[in-house]
Structure 1
Amino acid sequence: MVDVELLALDVETTGLDPRTDHLLSLGWVPVVGGRVVLAQARELRLRPPGDVDVGPSATFHRLTDDQLSDAAPLADALPLLLRALHGRVLLAHHAPIEVEFLAAATVSAYGSRPPLTTVDTMALQHRLLTDVHGQVAGSLRLDAARRAYGLPRYTAHHALTDAMAAAELLLAQVAELELKLGREVVLRDLSPQRSG
């Protein structure tokens, strides 16, 4: 995994449907050379468009309308995220959420989806926990997966914290895979998905 650069990304949104819901926060941190690069970690709060309010989603991520009133619009934040992602594999826990919200944002802003290679720590955890009979032994939630590796607990539903949590989880998963495989893990061992 030393040769692959990743960008752990987490988003907080008004809901789960990228066709109707909106991004409220982006958090990312690079994973380079098998290390989480905290010096390049970034979190951006986003002002929802027009008269959109955060609604009941605030009970999860604790982002309120007044906290987002002077935040950057998505159009200002998106280029920063795309620059950070350039040349890197996107890493997320349950990656379809991040992939689809990023795709919706780029289609709206630029007319097309970005080409992405994605590693999903939830899918990887599913693979690692599935026994020979196809049964999953344990929870796939981010916190539960981290506990299985003895990683510290973090408060959930905070974009940057969740991105760092996914990055740390991947490093633990890679270590487990290396033990199972008896060799260094390469990108294809992580079942990357390509989209765009």
Structure 2
Amino acid sequence: MRRLAGELRRRWLLARAPAGPRRDFLAAPWPPGGLPCAAARYLALDLETTGGDPQQHEIVSLGWVCLDGPRIDLGSARRRIVRIAGAMSAESATVHAITDDEAAAGVPLDAALRELLAALAGRVLIAHYAPTERGFVDAACRRLLGGGIAIPAIDTLDIARRLMPPGQAPAPGSLRLGTLRRHYGLPRYPAHDALSDALAAAELFLAQLGAAPRPPTLAEWLA
């Protein structure tokens, strides 16, 4: 049902989108819902932002890496620091380890967004708490590219909940990216770096796929 609703929204947006990178992205159909997750193509994405509200806060950096089925393509890995409109707050600079000078030398969000959409077309997004990535990308498209976007996504946080034993509530902090990676015996990566967090989500997804009681289809795991 989620996939059908998303595909209908994609078609609705495509019919109204002018020529450009947003239309090019929307022109790529979503993968079939019956496709096994192990056979699909993905792009794991992480955004570092100045806050949690896509309407008020800015994207500081983007990191992504593509997967073809269970294979992570490290040659596709990208990290883009964005030239933000305002000054980098002391808190953001500390959390993301990006200085004002680095942010000032970054790429315009418009350029980073176009590059991301080109890489993401025809693929399924992987993110840890996907509403953040989808919300900020949609807001950026509305502001810079003339309209909203529809992105098929698998949320590794949501999948972690689904893989828990029936009736078991998650312990506080147990659904964090780093905690879940430790659960699966995955190595520790630096936090709050867009590319390392994207790679971390990609590896977590593959671990979850291997732990599933049976091979899932996209329709079963789409957020």
Task: Determine the structure 1 residue equivalent to 2:101.
Answer: 66
Q: How far apart are residue 134 of structure 1 and its match? A: 4.1
Instruction: Name the SS for the 2:220 alignment partner.
Output: helix
Question: Map of 1:13-24 to 2, 5 A cutoff?
Answer: 13-24=49-60
Q: Is the 8 A contact 2:130 2:153 kept in 1?
A: yes
Whole-angstrom distance in 1 between the partners of 2:108 and 2:131: 23
C-alpha displacement at 1:133, in angstroms?
Answer: 2.0
TM-score w.r.t. the length of structure 1 is 0.90
| Coordinate RMSD, CA, aligned | 1.3
Corresponding residue SS for 2:153? strand
Name the SS for the 1:12 alignment partner: strand
CA distance in 2, matches of 1:65, 1:185: 44
Could you say what secondary structure the match of 1:103 adopts? helix
What pairs with 1:48-127 in structure 2 (closer than 5 Å)?
A: 48-49=84-85, 52-55=86-89, 56-127=91-162
Query: Is the partner of 2:143 in helix, strand or coil?
Result: helix
Any gaps of 5 or more consecutive residues in structure 1?
none
The correspondence of residues 1-196 of structure 1 with structure 2, limited to 5 A, is 1-49=37-85, 52-55=86-89, 56-129=91-164, 131-136=165-170, 139-177=174-212, 180-181=213-214, 184-190=215-221, 192-193=222-223
Supply the AA of the counterpart residue of 2:95. Answer: F
Equivalent pairs: percent with the same residue? 44
Mean CA deviation greater in 14-23 or 157-166: 14-23
The DSSP-based 3-state class of the residue aligned with 2:141 is: helix
Deviations 1:9-66, CA, capped at 9 Å, x for gaps: 00011111111110110000011121111011111110002xx112122221111111
Runs of 4+ in 1 over 6 A off after TM superposition: none
**TM-score, length of structure 2 as denominator length:** 0.80
